[in-house]
A and B are shown apart, each in its own frame.
Chain A
Amino acid sequence: MDGYLSPLLVSLKTVAVATVITFILGVGAARWMARYSGWLRPLIDGLFILPLVLPPTVVGLVLLLTFGRHGPLWPLLTRMDVNVILSWPATVISATVVAFPLMYMTARGAFEQVDGSIEDAARTLGAGEWRVFLTVSLPLARPGIIAGTVLCIARSLGEFGATVMFAGNIPGKTTTLPVAIYFAYSAGDTERALYLAGMVLAMSFASVLCLAFFRKPRPRTVTLVDPLQEGLPAA
């Protein structure tokens, strides 16, 4: 058995990459959906949230069938000489898929709270959509987005079901902390399982503490509104 460090490193690497990807995809999807009101809205919304309510084994199965030898992506992947199944990228994909709904839901809620008239004000002042997003919407939605990111980190750290099916158990490559705990328990090595569980416990608790810290009640900021209103041309 390799040391305790290897599953920790695999987990940290996976969580880091998965969180970055989830952040970009989740915030992007949330921003888009917060303003989209077409008839497909409930359908897309449901699809985005689905991995949260599905058992991770179902997610794992779907990923296996999608990326597997008989899956739709196989011809493309073989042409690129890539095999995702049972490889490190598979741990990232599993973690991303299960963490995405948390990022998406929290960020969407935050964007929906943002007063649309402030964004419109920025537009009338000549700001492009990117600038509006980066300098107005994103800062105003910040608490929600931070909360979403922390939840993402916690969820991807804890991901087990889809990972063990889709990425397998390759020590040093795909053996994340939860996978290592399961195999240590199976082997009757309770001491190792406990040790690894302690690591997860410490990290999860730290991320929840982070969340509590960022959620600290703070004075309502209204200052952003004033300069904009002052800058508005008299109609």
Chain B
Amino acid sequence: MNSLKKLALLTITAVLLAGLIAGLAGCSQEEEEAVTLNVFAAASLTDVMEEINGLYTGEHSSVTITPNYGSSGKLQTQIEQGAPCDVFISAGARQMDALQSENMLLTDSRRDLLQNKVVLIVPSDSTLGLADFNGLTGASVTRIAIGDPASVPAGSYGKKALEKLGIYSQVQSKLVLCTDVRDVLTHVENGDVEAGIVYETDYLISTKVKKVAEGPAEVNATIVYPVAVIEETENAEAAGKYVDFLFSDEAGEVFEEYGFVLVQD
């Protein structure tokens, strides 16, 4: 029994030590003279930004990109609270407007990068036969996933679409408010909900959902992704170059591959 206890104690000590050494090793690596850019991007950009960041760091070996994905509202709050951020790509103008009014953006660094649209999706094996947004008012639909309109741009556009169609008050009690747009996609893919509202680009990356309808054109026309360099950045030059890269033809091709529409300057 005693030797067993010793062995357990030894194992625990070894594991903790290994963690400590790994942590210290990680620290010392950062000592190198290199630029780390903290890029905060809307959750709907997760896949496309992974590819674009890979392209960029492949061409600029001195640059390391630390991405942070989440709902634009949460990212905005994090930036306001002082989270280290160099570049912010928001899915909604509202979040960027807020930061701009608080003078947290580097002057003149804000530009509109992408366009998108909201769509209504159902699980690909759905048997409800939904044909349009109005079908959501039916009794067979009990749960509709949507980003929380207060913090998730896709959710606020989704809410606008439902309001535009005059059915928001009828479906309000069925809405499951999600942390970000990818959360909505997951719930629809898993069949936890009968339907969900996401961006066209989220629908395109999933094989487990099908598109029922597109949001009203008036609403979709307002969906733009602004990008800006954050005022408090210590790497303004590197951040500016990175943003320029986002507007390059090379990055543009990747964005289009994922279904985004480029904003023509």
Residues of A within 8 A of B (CB): 1, 64, 68-69, 83, 85-86, 164, 168-172, 175, 182-190
How close is B47's CB to chain A, nearest CB, in angstroms?
21
How close is A188's CB to chain B, nearest CB, in angstroms?
5
- CB–CB A171/B192 < 8 A: no
Besides A68-B190, A187-B77, A188-B73, 20 other A-B contacts (C-beta < 8 A): A69-B190, A86-B176, A168-B176, A168-B178, A168-B187, A168-B192, A169-B148, A169-B176, A169-B177, A170-B143, A170-B176, A172-B173, A183-B148, A185-B74, A186-B70, A186-B77, A186-B150, A186-B151, A188-B76, A189-B150
Within 8 A of A (CB), among B157-177: 173, 175-177
B76: nearest chain-A partner, CB-CB? A188
Q: Per a CB cutoff under 8 Å, which of A64, A175, A187 touches B73?
A: A187
Residues of B within 8 A of A (CB): 70-71, 73-74, 76-77, 80, 98, 142-143, 148, 150-151, 173, 175-179, 187, 190-193
Given contacts A183-B151, A188-B76, contact A68 B192 (CB under 8 A): yes
A183: nearest chain-B partner, CB-CB? B148
- Residues of B within 8 Å of A83, CB to CB, are 142
- Residues of B within 8 Å of A171, CB to CB, are 175, 177
- CB–CB B71/A186 < 8 A: yes
- CB–CB B193/A86 < 8 A: yes
- Residues of B within 8 Å of A190, CB to CB, are 77
Q: Per a CB cutoff under 8 Å, which of A64, A85, A183 touches B177?
A: A183
- CB–CB A188/B187 < 8 A: no
A167: nearest chain-B partner, CB-CB? B176
- CB–CB B175/A188 < 8 A: no
Q: Per a CB cutoff under 8 Å, which of B77, B175, B187, B191 touches A185?
A: B77
- Residues of B within 8 Å of A169, CB to CB, are 148, 176-179
Q: Determine the distance from Cα of A90 to Cα of B77 in the docked complex, in whole angstroms.
A: 29
Enumerate 12 A-B pairs (CB-CB under 8 Å) in ascending A order.
Answer: A1-B150, A68-B191, A69-B190, A86-B187, A86-B192, A86-B193, A169-B177, A171-B177, A183-B148, A185-B77, A187-B150, A188-B98
- Residues of A within 8 Å of B151, CB to CB, are 183, 186-188
Q: Determine the distance from Cα of A68 to Cα of B123 in the docked complex, in whole angstroms.
A: 14
The 6 closest A-B pairs by CB, nearest first: A187-B150, A187-B151, A186-B74, A186-B151, A169-B177, A69-B191
- Residues of A within 8 Å of B71, CB to CB, are 186
Q: Determine the distance from Cα of A112 to Cα of B192 in the docked complex, in whole angstroms.
A: 43
Q: Determine the distance from Cα of A170 to Cα of B143 in the docked complex, in whole angstroms.
A: 9
- CB–CB B187/A186 < 8 A: no
Given contacts A68-B192, A86-B193, A183-B148, contact A188 B178 (CB under 8 A): no
How close is B2's CB to chain A, nearest CB, in angstroms?
18
- CB–CB A186/B73 < 8 A: yes
How close is A153's CB to chain B, nearest CB, in angstroms?
26
Q: Determine the distance from Cα of A142 to Cα of B77 in the docked complex, in whole angstroms.
A: 47
Q: Determine the distance from Cα of A79 to Cα of B192 in the docked complex, in whole angstroms.
A: 16
A174: nearest chain-B partner, CB-CB? B176
- Residues of B within 8 Å of A187, CB to CB, are 73, 77, 148, 150-151
- Residues of A within 8 Å of B193, CB to CB, are 86
Q: Determine the distance from Cα of A188 to Cα of B153 in the docked complex, in whole angstroms.
A: 13
- Residues of A within 8 Å of B98, CB to CB, are 188
A65: nearest chain-B partner, CB-CB? B190
- Residues of B within 8 Å of A68, CB to CB, are 190-192
Q: Determine the distance from Cα of A171 to Cα of B146 in the docked complex, in whole angstroms.
A: 12
B123: nearest chain-A partner, CB-CB? A69
Q: Determine the distance from Cα of A101 to Cα of B191 in the docked complex, in whole angstroms.
A: 31
- CB–CB B175/A183 < 8 A: no
Q: Determine the distance from Cα of A182 to Cα of B80 in the docked complex, in whole angstroms.
A: 16
The listed residue with most B CB atoms (<10 A of its CB), out of A164, A182, A184, A188, is: A188
How close is B237's CB to chain A, nearest CB, in angstroms?
30
